[in-house]
Homo-oligomer: A and B are copies of this chain.
Amino acid sequence: MLRVISTTLAKSSNLAATAATASMQIGSFRKQSTIIKQSDGVREIVLNDPRARNTLSCEVMSSIFDGITKDVHDESLRCIVISSTGPVWSAGHNLKEISASSDGGHAIFSQLVDIILNIYKSPVPIIAKVNGMATAAGLQLAASCDMVVASDKASFAASGVNIGIFCTTPGIAISRVMPRMKSSYLLFTGFPINAQDALTAGLASVVVPEAQLDAETNKITQSIKEKPRAILAMGKKFYYKQLGLSVKDAYDQGTDVMVKNIGMEDAQEGLKSFVEKRKPNFNKK
């Protein structure tokens, strides 16, 4: 069952409860800059304003924030995908809003940082499904997801510098997933790189022909859904934590996480299924 549970023009305080309402509203509004729908455990945040090149306006960021944080501890939610319609995945911040802001964009930049920190904190994996250009803060958002699944139509640029705004905050995101020689190339030149270069550089987890992007994304979300939610959540949490630790500290703490994992019901079922040579029957909570 596919439910449309939120749109930018029809934000709900309780995603699940108002799903039907929001769904009806889709017919009545022609322009929803963001659509949030959830089906069988996978929530999809669709950037849906191709005419505005899916810019991350405050309204859109507010929707993304909702999509990433609302009811996130609901056990039926297993995975979040951020996708887009149109040739531009996201062109980054809304420059008119930045121009008009009274704080030099501080609140706007901070709003995206909030989203990013909540991506890291989210108990479920969050996937950027990229089928177009991701530039500036759009690049930053994609590079801050747990995984980037891209089609051969994807491209990436730190293009802010072209209008005199160095992609300083996007640089924080990309320099943590790409080699320095590649991230500095993007930041200093503003030039785009294509999907294959992004894959080589480590910015994309996987790249497939456009026609296979849905199938590839579904393969990954399906794989996630077959795994115990609580165990993925614990694994993800420590994964980001250990990135900042020394090898020794990481192993000291990581060993404790492993032991805790082994003690969990679904791990016990997994071990048993292995010994009994059958598929595990997870609780998935």
Residues of chain A having any CB pair with chain B under 8 Å: 95-96, 98-99, 103-106, 109-110, 113, 116-117, 120, 125, 146-148, 161-169, 171-172, 175-182, 184-185, 187-191, 199-206, 220, 223-224, 227-228, 231-232, 234-236, 238-239, 242-244, 246-248, 250-251, 254-264, 266-275, 280, 282
Kindly identify which residue among B105, B147, B188 contacts A146, using a CB–CB cutoff of 8 Å: B188
Give me 10 A-to-B residue pairs in the complex whose CB atoms sit less than 8 angstroms apart, sorted by A's number.
Answer: A96-B275, A99-B272, A109-B255, A164-B227, A164-B228, A175-B243, A177-B179, A179-B203, A188-B232, A244-B246
User: In the bound complex, what is the Cα–Cα distance between A226 and B182 (angstroms)?
Assistant: 20
Nearest residue, chain B, Cβ from A171? B239
Q: Are B163 and A255 in contact (CB-based, < 8 A)?
A: no
Q: A217 to nearest B CB, angstroms?
A: 11
Copies of this chain, whole number: 3
Q: A203 to nearest B CB, angstroms?
A: 6
Which residues of B are found within 8 Å of A171, using beta-carbon distances? 235, 238-239, 242, 254
- Determine the main DSSP class of A at the interface with B: helix
Q: Are B179 and A98 in contact (CB-based, < 8 A)?
A: no
Which residues of B are found within 8 Å of A251, using beta-carbon distances? 113, 116-117, 169, 172
Q: Are A206 and B185 in contact (CB-based, < 8 A)?
A: yes
Q: A279 to nearest B CB, angstroms?
A: 9
Q: Are A181 and B202 in contact (CB-based, < 8 A)?
A: yes
Q: Are A179 and B202 in contact (CB-based, < 8 A)?
A: yes
Which residues of B are found within 8 Å of A105, using beta-carbon distances? 258-259, 262
Q: Are B98 and A262 in contact (CB-based, < 8 A)?
A: yes
Q: Are B201 and A202 in contact (CB-based, < 8 A)?
A: yes
User: In the bound complex, what is the Cα–Cα distance between A91 and B142 (angstroms)?
Assistant: 33
Q: Are B255 and A113 in contact (CB-based, < 8 A)?
A: yes
Q: Are B204 and A255 in contact (CB-based, < 8 A)?
A: no
Kindly identify which residue among B109, B148, B166, B181 contacts A234, using a CB–CB cutoff of 8 Å: B166
